Amino acid sequence: MPNLKPPESANQKEIMRLILTILIASILTSCTKHNISENFTGVIVAIPKSAKLSGWILNHCGNSEPIKLDDLSCAQIGGEIFITKIAFPRDNKNRLIGELNQILVVQHALLIEKTNQNKWCFNLKPIAGELRRATGVNFIAMNYKRNCDDPNEIVLSQ
């Protein structure tokens, strides 16, 4: 029976090994998660899954700093701070962010459908002090956009 397989040179084998190595390396690096620093400021893309009131609000009667809802001294609508669970957060380079599964979101009556699969853009900034200790959350989004196509185009949410 004749050999129908074309002869391979050592050079062709090396080229195939190199291509296979590059392919495997690119697959592995695209699937790895990275962490963001606790001082991160910027836009992420994520799928919000649920939101619950944190018991905190931005004080529009004063300096717009977060305070406990019970400490609010005037009537206001808006500024509620929600603890929002998110899935598949990605940075502006489309890298998956590890260990970021919830953020704070400022919004009046934030509604997230239970079956939501739409990516939202969140403009995050780090939080510190009592709000961070009380909620256990490291980042707050004062601005966000639903169904974002361009993560650099954030609209005011309040």
Domain locations in the chain?
42-145
| 8 Å CB contact between 119 and 144 | no
Other beta carbons less than 10 A from residue 124's beta carbon: 24
Q: How many CA atoms within 13 Å lie on the side-chain side of 13?
A: 5
Phi/psi at 102 (nearest 5 deg)? -155, 150
Q: Please say whether the beta carbons of 37 and 30 come within 8 A.
A: no
Tens place of pLDDT for every residue, the chain, 158 residues? Answer: 565 555 556 678 888 888 888 777 666 655 566 777 778 888 999 999 999 999 999 888 878 889 898 888 888 888 999 999 999 999 888 888 888 999 999 998 888 998 999 999 999 999 988 999 999 999 999 889 887 765 555 554 44
- pTM comes to 0.73
Identify any residues that bridge with 87 across adjacent strands, giving them in sequence order: 47
Give Cα separations from 63 to 30, 60, 109, 129 (angstroms): 43, 6, 22, 16
Q: What is the CA radius of gyration of the chain?
A: 23
